[in-house]
């Protein structure tokens, strides 16, 4: 006696003839490989730089008031980059099926979800705010100098709110803030470079190679955003979708860690006291003397502490 064995729908699918879909599988695999490589490599570099900075700052300076803002910026940007890294790994895991019956079941998600875009724009806002703050300090706290960067910074902050409420119909994407952040950093980098090279006190107090390093490290983020803008202009969307949020988020933290690490290393600065703000607790400097003292930004203060 022969028993009739019922053939399941999945076996029908396995025995059926399907049109070739090899390109789709290769595309998904390639996309996940690129995203995995970008995610792990950038975050690994950031982790090493962050640990080196924490060790170097605590060993050399401790918890001084002028160093606390540096600690805060490093910790905040590292936390957001780590959150973006974890969310990116979760997305990669979600896109990778365990078992598929047919290659057409492989799903590709080229667009980054909203939960990856919001941390990136928040990180961009923090990094740009720190840049505007440094520019404002280097230019003797003159608001008119940073008026245009402040307007651009407010636009980025408003865009974060729009991304949170995108569920109600507002189509807000992180791509729109890339040219805004690029313009802000170009203006601030030009102002910082001009101030460092032309101010008589800074040009004499700081080594020339340290000034070169500060300007070149700040240009790292600008060059990267400019490259992303070129890829968007030639309609190569895969670069933005695969490397956009995680690369921007992590590179902001990496650029800040690089400038702090290089500035805080022994031998990259000169003796303390060449440019020094009077402490409010001392009460020795009068109002006129305090007004004429050159106000330095946290990076320059860190160099002078060395």
The mean-pLDDT minimum among 26-30, 64-68, 257-261 falls in 26-30
Please give the pLDDT value at position 44.
95
- In a domain, residue 213? The reply is yes
Please give the pLDDT value at position 252.
95
Please give the pLDDT value at position 24.
52
Exposed / middle / buried, residue 152 (Cβ in 10 Å: 0-12, 13-18, 19+): buried
Query: What is the band of 170 on the pLDDT scale with cuts at 50, 70, 90?
Result: low
- What are 267's two structure tokens? 């031998």
Average pLDDT for residues 168-185, to the nearest whole number?
81
Please give the pLDDT value at position 233.
75
Q: Decide if pLDDT at 291 tops 80.
A: no
- In a domain, residue 4? The reply is no
Query: What is the band of 212 on the pLDDT scale with cuts at 50, 70, 90?
Result: confident
- In a domain, residue 60? The reply is yes
- In a domain, residue 181? The reply is yes
Average pLDDT for residues 184-195, to the nearest whole number?
94
- In a domain, residue 91? The reply is yes
Query: pLDDT tens, 48-96?
Result: 999 999 999 998 888 888 788 999 999 999 999 999 999 988 887 777 6
- In a domain, residue 12? The reply is no
- Structural domain tally of the chain? 1
- In a domain, residue 2? The reply is no
CATH of the domain at 223: 1.20.1070
| pLDDT, averaged across the chain | 78
Please give the pLDDT value at position 243.
74
Please give the pLDDT value at position 80.
97
Please give the pLDDT value at position 230.
84
- In a domain, residue 14? The reply is no
Full domain range(s) for residue 96:
22-305
- pTM here? 0.80
Please give the pLDDT value at position 286.
43
Query: What is the band of 275 on the pLDDT scale with cuts at 50, 70, 90?
Result: very low
- What are 61's two structure tokens? 């300076």
Cβ neighbours around 170 below 10 Å, total: 11
Query: pLDDT tens, 99-158?
Result: 666 666 666 665 578 888 899 999 999 999 999 999 999 998 999 999 999 999 999 999
């Amino acid at each position: 006696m022969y028993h009739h064995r019922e053939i399941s729908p999945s076996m029908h699918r396995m025995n059926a003839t399907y049109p070739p879909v090899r390109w789709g599988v290769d595309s998904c695999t390639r996309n996940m490989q690129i995203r995995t490589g970008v995610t792990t490599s950038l975050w690994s570099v950031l982790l090493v730089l962050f640990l080196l900075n924490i060790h170097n700052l605590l060993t050399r300076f401790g918890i001084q008031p002028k160093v606390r803002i540096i600690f805060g910026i490093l910790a905040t940007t590292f936390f957001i980059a780590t959150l973006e890294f974890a969310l990116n790994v979760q997305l990669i895991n979600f896109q990778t099926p365990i078992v598929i019956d047919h290659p057409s079941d492989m799903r590709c998600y080229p667009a980054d979800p909203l939960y990856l875009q919001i941390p990136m724009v928040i990180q961009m806002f923090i990094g740009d705010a720190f840049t505007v703050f440094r520019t404002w300090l280097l230019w003797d706290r003159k608001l008119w100098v940073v008026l245009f960067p402040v307007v651009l910074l407010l636009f980025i902050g408003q865009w974060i709110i729009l991304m949170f409420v995108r569920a109600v119909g507002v189509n807000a994407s992180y791509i729109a803030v890339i040219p805004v952040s690029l313009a802000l950093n170009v203006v601030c980098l030009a102002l910082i470079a001009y101030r460092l090279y032309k101010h008589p006190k800074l040009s004499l107090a700081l080594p020339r190679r340290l000034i070169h390093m500060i300007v070149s490290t700040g240009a790292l983020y600008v060059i990267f955003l400019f490259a992303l803008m070129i890829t968007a202009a030639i309609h190569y969307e895969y670069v933005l979708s695969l490397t956009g949020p995680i690369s921007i988020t992590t590179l902001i933290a990496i650029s800040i860690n690089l400038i702090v690490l290089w500035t805080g290393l022994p031998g990259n600065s000169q003796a303390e006291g060449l440019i020094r703000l009077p402490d409010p607790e001392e009460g020795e400097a009068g109002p006129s003397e305090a007004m004429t003292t050159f106000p330095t930004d946290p990076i320059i203060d860190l160099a002078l502490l060395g």
